[in-house]
Structure 1
C-alpha cells in the first residue's frame, strides 16, 4: 500500500531526528524500565504533559537561550568555554554561531529535558550529575575583570528561571491543549526538582515568582554583542520570523532592553497563529515521542513508590567528584 503524504513526512522527520539527535545524545538512557518507576515526575504530572510536545519544548529552549545571554557573564562563559561559537585558527572565539556546535548544544539540551522528564530515576540522576560536572569546569574572568563561575548560586538561579520561563511560555502560546492559570503553576512547582538537582537554591516555584526573579536581575543585564547580532530586522528569513517569535515570549522589561516593540494586537495574533501552525504541523507530522510512550508503558501497571524517592533531590552540594572537562565530555559523547 502506498504511503500517504503525511506518513511520508512523518517517517522522514522521525528518521532525521533519530539520526541527528537520538543516535548521538540518547545513548545509555533508559525509558522502558524498570516497571513501575515513575522517574522524577510520573504520570499525571504537569511536566509529562508539557514536555510531551517536543517541538514546543524545543522552541521554548530557544527562548530561554536568548534571554539567558542577556547576562554578560553567561555570554562570556559561552565565548570562553562553549563550542556554540566559531573560533579562529588560534582558538579565539568570535561572536558568531557555529552551526555544528549549535546542533550539538541543542542535542544535549533536548536529551537532558526529555531524559529528566521521562527517563527512569537512575537516568535522570545520571543526567543531572553529568550536567553538574560540566558546570564545575566553567570558571573564568570576563574582559572587564569580573570573575564568573557556573556553580555560583546567583547564576544558577538566573539560568533556571530563564529555562522554566522559556519552556512554560512556549507551552502556553503554542501547545494545542495548554496549561493555564493555576494549572501552569503546577509545572513551575514540579520543575523546581530539576533546578535543585543541578545545585540551584532559593528557586521560584510559580509563574509570578519566576517573573519577579527574572526582573530582579535587570540591573546586571545588558545587550551583549551576541544578543545584538541575533536581534533586529536584518536577519534572513525564516530566521527573522523565528527570532521575532522568540522575542515575543519575553517579559515587557526584556523587550524594552532589546528595543523590541509588539506589533498591533491583530498583527501579533496573526504572527502567533502562523508560528502555532508551524510548530504543531511539525508535531503532528513527527508523531508522539517514543520516550514518552515508553515511559507510559513503564508505569502502565501502576507506580511503585519504593522505586522512586523522587520528590527531593539526591544531590548534596559539594559532593560531586572532581572531573576534568575531557572526562565530562567523554560522558556526553
Structure 2
C-alpha cells in the first residue's frame, strides 16, 4: 500500500524550509531571472512537462529511441521523476551537480542509438539537431502553459530574456547555442521549419496516448482507491494538455478534442494553478507524489531558501571550472564504442551511463508493466 507523503499543512513555508537545505549556489540563472519566474510556476511540472514529452514524439528519431529503451512504458513513474529532476536541475540546481548531471546524461544518451524504422536512417540521442528539438519543445511548452493557464504573457523585455536564458541552458547539451531561437518569431519559424520532418508513426501515437493518460505518472504502489482520488485531476490536466496542441499536431497524433472542451477546461485549470501557486502544501504534496526525487532540487527555490553562495555561472564557465568537456565533445571514446557495439557487432549498447546516472538524477525502480 502506498503511503501518502508527510507534508506539513500548517506553517507550511517555515516547516518545509526545515526539511530542505539550500543549494550550493544560484546555478545558471538565479533570483530575478525569467527562467525562475516561469519554471517555478506550477504550470511547468505537469502541463508544460506533459506537453513537451508528448510533442517530442513527432520526431521519429526520438520515438525510436524511446520505444527501444522501453523506460517510459515500463517505468513511467520513475521516468517522469528522473526527467523532471534533470529539468529542475537545469533551471534551479547548483552549478557543480548540474554540470555533472549533464555530463553523465551524454553517457546515458550514448546508448540511445540504433536504426530508425520510420526514416530508415540511424538515430542518435546525442545528435545536436535531436537535442535542440527536445530543448525547444521543453522551453516552448513551459512558457506556453504559463501563458495559457498561468499569469499570462510576459512583457517584451521578459520574453527576450527568457529566450536568451533558453540559449544559455542549451550549453548543457550537445547543441550549438548559436542555433537556438532568440525570439517568439524565431521560435515560431523553428517549429514551422520542423513540420516537414514530423511523423506520427503508430509507435509515436501509441506513446503519446499512453502518456496522456496521466495516471501513469502516479506511483505504481498506489491502490485502485487511491488512484480514483486523482482521476478527476488527471483527466482535467490531460484535456488541458491537448488544448495546447495546434490542429496539425492533433491530426498527426489522432488526438480528438472539440474547441468547446478546450474552452471549458481553461478556466478551471487557471484557477487550479493559481491555487497551487498560493497554497504551498498542495503544491509540494502533489510533487511529492509525482516526483519526490525532484523536490530537493525545486523546493529551495519555491520556498525562497537563499543559496549558500550568491554565485551564478554560465554552463560553459561551470564546465571549465569543474573539468568537464563541452557536451558535444564529451565521452567521444565511449560513444564510439557504443556505435561499434550496435552498428558493427549487432550487440546491445552498454548500460554504463544509465547506471551511473542514478546517483545524479534519481534511482530506477524495477521494471513494472502498466
- Give the shorter-chain TM-score range: 0.7 to 0.9
Residue 312 (structure 2) pairs with residue 318 (structure 1): no
Distance 1:182 1:253 in 2: 30
2:107 to 124, 133, 145: 133
1:281 to 275, 285, 305: 275
Distance 1:181 1:255 in 2: 30
Alignment of 1:89-100 (within 5 A): 98=74
Q: Compared with structure 1, are the counterparts of its residues 287 and 147 closer, same or farther at alpha carbon in structure 2 (3 Å cutoff)?
A: closer
Matched residue, 1:46: 34
Q: Compared with structure 1, are the counterparts of its residues 328 and 262 closer, same or farther at alpha carbon in structure 2 (3 Å cutoff)?
A: closer
Given the two structures, how large is their TM-score scaled by the length of structure 1?
A: 0.73
Contact 2:59–2:197 at 8 Å: present in 1 too?
Answer: yes
Distance 1:276 1:56 in 2: 13
User: Which range moved further: 126-135 or 179-188?
Assistant: 179-188
Partner of 1:151, secondary structure, is coil
Matched residue, 2:3: none
Matched residue, 1:208: 185
Distance 1:143 1:227 in 2: 12
Tell me the CA shift for residue 45 of structure 1: 0.6
Please identify runs of 4+ aligned residues in structure 1 that moved more than 6 A.
Answer: 234-237
Matched residue, 1:3: none
Distance 2:128 2:351 in 1: 21
Consecutive unaligned residues in structure 2, runs of 5 or more: 1-5, 216-230, 285-297, 320-324, 336-349, 364-370
Task: Give CA deviations for 1:124-146 in whole Å, capped at 9, x if unaligned.
Answer: 21121122221122100123532
Partner of 1:217, secondary structure, is helix
Q: Compared with structure 1, are the counterparts of its residues 231 and 240 closer, same or farther at alpha carbon in structure 2 (3 Å cutoff)?
A: farther
Q: Compared with structure 1, are the counterparts of its residues 102 and 259 closer, same or farther at alpha carbon in structure 2 (3 Å cutoff)?
A: closer
Q: Compared with structure 1, are the counterparts of its residues 294 and 248 closer, same or farther at alpha carbon in structure 2 (3 Å cutoff)?
A: closer
Q: Compared with structure 1, are the counterparts of its residues 212 and 326 closer, same or farther at alpha carbon in structure 2 (3 Å cutoff)?
A: same
Distance 1:319 1:187 in 2: 27
Task: Give CA deviations for 1:50-107 in whole Å, capped at 9, x if unaligned.
Answer: 122245333201000111001122111111124112xxxxxxxxxxxx4xx1111111
User: Which range moved further: 287-296 or 109-118?
Assistant: 287-296
